[in-house]
Structure 1
Amino acid sequence: MARFLLDISPVREIPAFRRLWMGSTLSMLGSQFTVIAISLEVFELTRSTFAVGLVGVFALVPLIVAGLYGGSIGDTTDRRLAGLWTTVGLFAMTVALAAHAWLDIRNVAVLYTIVALHSFAQGLNQPVRGAIVPRVVPVRQLPAANALFQLTMGSCLMIGPLLGAFTVATMGFQWAYTLDALSFGVSLWAMYMLPSLPPEPGDDGAATRAGFRSVVEGFAFLATRPNLRMTFLLDLAAMIFAMPRALFPVLGASVLGGGQFTVGLLTAALAAGSIIAGIFSGVFIRINHHGRACAAAVAGWAVCIMAFGAVVLVASGGWGADTVWPLIVSCLALVAAGVADSVSMLFRTTILQAATPDNLRGRLQGIFIVVVAGGPRLGDATMGTGGEWLGPGWAALGGATMCLALVLLLVRMFPGFMRYDARDPQP
């Protein structure tokens, strides 16, 4: 049975990874306190859902810009120092959020400004942190290490908003932000305890300088590496055309009923799938043909969202007043989709880390951050528009069908990806 369960050997055997994982877990949980607190505070100040939506805009643009530049920094400076100082920046912005709450500065413009600066610091930090992992974890243990991160991410996304909302309701915004700031203590300690990780030289023997030219070099490298490029294309196909979360509010308000409770339940179902995939990740980490597994997982995501859309269509067409069974089946489809998405992320991340030369890992991680952050938001726009024009059922079914067709097309266009083998990683 142990072969099918989560492999914790990276935590047990590699002290540096153990500290990174602990720090990431606590800071990720604390970040969810801040995410929910900011949304609630902006709504309390403005009573406008549009104003709440603007939080995402102020967060996304700095994240994209800083994500690309942060990857460049990670490839040209000591990653320990870069990770330490960018974590300090994140900590400072979280302290600023706590300070504004304790000082009772009730101004939405101040909140938007801190959100943008926090997101900029996060964009600098994440590519560096992602590039550090392959330097401290052997290639053979990367799938297990990524599975551990996937499990904690799914758990934090499921539990964090609930704990954050409870903290705001019982203790106020001040403590929600303060607890997030305190959660960075372990993360700072983990970065401080790392050994020196100086940049490795490129093919010409010299390290690349940080800046715009360095970022362009990262894109140029990606353009010539079909296996790495395929991981990005598969993720974009899944997120842009088959991410259903924009449909959850209208489903809670009409088709499935239950209002905000249903929205929370559907959202939690996706996160629950990620947790299940993490617990049983032993099934996946022993697979060597990562390309096939990644493509199959994205296709599985599309099929699950197609099933979700079919259930919504049937419910819309007269399942009767009983919305319990449609809700249960919808949640089951989303749990399965969450499993598929988590497995896809596991293999995409591992391929990116293993097949990218160390002197380019930071920049590729930066591009990865942009795709991961931007894809779902484009998906919200695509699915939201489709839901408005076609109805939620047809939007989900049609979008997922498009995703599946794109997966099949991409597999045909890049046949080498299906031959990718973790024992001989080729970009």
Structure 2
Amino acid sequence: MNQVSDHHNGGTRRSWLIDLTPLRVSAAYRRLWWGQLLSGIGSSMTAVVVSVQVYQLTESSFAVGMVGFCALTPLLAVGLLGGAIIDSVDRRRLAFLTGLILVAVSLGFVAQAVIAPTQLWLLYALIVVQNAFFALESPTLRAIVPALMATDKLAAAAALSMFSFQISILLGPILAGFVIDRLGLGVAYLIDAITFAIAAYAAWRLPHLPSATDGTQPSFAGVIDGIRFLKSKSLLLMPLLLDINGMLFGMPRALFPALAATHFTGGAASVGLLYAAPAMGGIIGAFVSGPLTRSRRHGLALLIATVIWGLASALFAVSDILWIGIFFLALAGAADMATGVFRATILQTQAPGALMGRISAAAFVVGVGGPWLGDIESGIAAELTTPVFAAVLGGIACVVGVVMLHFWRPDFARYDASMAARAQG
């Protein structure tokens, strides 16, 4: 009797934990996942190292801010056109080629740190080139996943991807500070090159993935076709609109320094805790994501998770006790992780194979641009009012936005993934 009970309890515990099945059943996906995890940590390290080097050179916050401009501009410019390229070529070859180029660019960072560490223009140029090719690599890898995984395991794969992403944005900055202090800038950049090399190897080991468009050449017309398709399919458009809504209004990270100093009356350590809290919540949420990956009502779940994100962001600023604020930020991070799982699952299961690259690229552009727009929105709102009011108002606006989108497309909440899978079968 006790043995039966123990087995039942063990199964119940496992059902709450992250589903590792995609890593077990697909060697190609397993290599790809490890490559993305390590390259994500390397990229997060480089983002910090670049900022540190720019500030050491200039002692100017404006110059550091230009790093973001140099990174965001090519990401947005290449992102959508990159989707048409992804759909027109062998995705394995494209992932491998972009991976090799990113290795070369990272070695360029190493060379400038050793040979020309005072040339700010060279550092900016390397950032532009790196992010231009990253805007090709990342959507390519996203578009590859559905070819490696059964449809009913895509939600579990999405949870694993969010888990690796949250780990990378948490560990990357920590490792960057450690390596810079003890080994120098050049070694930090070299680690990034090594992680990109591992990711390129994982891409090289992928199976052959021929063009989904019968060799059609990429063009702006193809990009427009993808945008038109998105506009005509509310099931694909709604996850992107919900993401924009959540990031634009419910992303208070630009307010963390001001809130730490004036609202929570803390110092630099408090700022660090505020920035780390959403990632910690995301990691915990991904670790116990078993129920999420078995959910069928992805539309309703995405709406609810976005509401939780907005409410938690608002409640974070209401409290003037640091640890309570951190709890709500962690809750927001867990909700953000859930939205990522449901958004990726809907897009990967419902986008046609011939348009998977363009849909993945659109999601990439939204995911990259949304947080930056959120920083701008919250910064302007705080300048006109106060940081606390801006954070609370943004969270409430996020919830209102979800309600408005629901009334615009009420059928989205009724979407059932199991019915869609049966229809496809």
**TM-score, scaled to structure 1:** 0.94
1:395 corresponds to 2:390: yes
Matches within 5 A, 1:261-410: 261-311=269-319, 315=320, 326-410=321-405
Q: In structure 2, the residue corresponding to 1:377 is in which secondary structure?
A: helix
1:49 corresponds to 2:61: yes
What are the superposed Cα offsets for residues 128-155 of structure 1, whole Å, 9 maximum, x if unpaired? 1110000111111011111111111111
**Shift in Å at residue 259 of structure 1?**
2.3
8 A Cα contact 1:86 1:121, kept in partner? yes
- What residue is the counterpart of 2:186 in the other structure? 174
Q: In structure 2, the residue corresponding to 1:423 is in which secondary structure?
A: helix
8 A Cα contact 1:67 1:126, kept in partner? no
Matches within 5 A, 1:53-72: 53-72=65-84
What are the superposed Cα offsets for residues 305-363 of structure 1, whole Å, 9 maximum, x if unpaired? 1111211xxx3xxxxxxxxxx10010000000000011011100110110000110100
From 20, 34, 37, the equivalent of 1:22 is 34
What are the superposed Cα offsets for residues 195-250 of structure 1, whole Å, 9 maximum, x if unpaired? 1100234xxxx554202111111101101000111001101111001100000011
- Paired with 1:171 and 1:38, the residues of 2 have a C-alpha distance of 15
- What residue is the counterpart of 1:148 in the other structure? 160
- What residue is the counterpart of 2:7 in the other structure? none
**Shift in Å at residue 255 of structure 1?**
1.9
8 A Cα contact 2:249 2:377, kept in partner? yes
Name the aligned partner's letter for residue 175 of structure 1: V
Unaligned 5+ runs, structure 1:
316-325
1:34 corresponds to 2:46: yes
Percent identity over the alignment? 38
8 A Cα contact 1:69 1:215, kept in partner? yes
Name the aligned partner's letter for residue 294 of structure 2: R
Name the aligned partner's letter for residue 236 of structure 2: L
8 A Cα contact 2:83 2:360, kept in partner? yes
- What residue is the counterpart of 1:197 in the other structure? 209
- What residue is the counterpart of 1:318 in the other structure? none
- Paired with 2:123 and 2:197, the residues of 1 have a C-alpha distance of 23
Name the aligned partner's letter for residue 417 of structure 1: F
8 A Cα contact 2:99 2:197, kept in partner? no
8 A Cα contact 2:313 2:332, kept in partner? yes
- What residue is the counterpart of 1:165 in the other structure? 177
1:107 corresponds to 2:119: yes
- What residue is the counterpart of 2:87 in the other structure? 75
From 267, 270, 277, the equivalent of 1:259 is 267
- Paired with 2:211 and 2:304, the residues of 1 have a C-alpha distance of 35
- Paired with 1:208 and 1:372, the residues of 2 have a C-alpha distance of 27
8 A Cα contact 1:208 1:214, kept in partner? no
What are the superposed Cα offsets for residues 62-81 of structure 1, whole Å, 9 maximum, x if unpaired? 00111112211110111111
8 A Cα contact 1:207 1:359, kept in partner? no
- What residue is the counterpart of 1:413 in the other structure? 408
**TM-score, scaled to structure 2:** 0.94
Name the aligned partner's letter for residue 61 of structure 1: T
Name the aligned partner's letter for residue 308 of structure 2: G
What are the superposed Cα offsets for residues 13-33 of structure 1, whole Å, 9 maximum, x if unpaired? 101100100111111111111
The aligned length equals 410
Name the aligned partner's letter for residue 22 of structure 2: P
Q: In structure 1, the residue corresponding to 2:418 is in which secondary structure?
A: coil
What are the superposed Cα offsets for residues 382-425 of structure 1, whole Å, 9 maximum, x if unpaired? 00111122111110111111110110111111011111111233
8 A Cα contact 1:288 1:422, kept in partner? yes
From 226, 229, 236, the equivalent of 2:237 is 229
- What residue is the counterpart of 2:15 in the other structure? 3
8 A Cα contact 2:71 2:127, kept in partner? yes
- Paired with 2:77 and 2:229, the residues of 1 have a C-alpha distance of 19
Unaligned 5+ runs, structure 2:
1-12
- What residue is the counterpart of 1:320 in the other structure? none
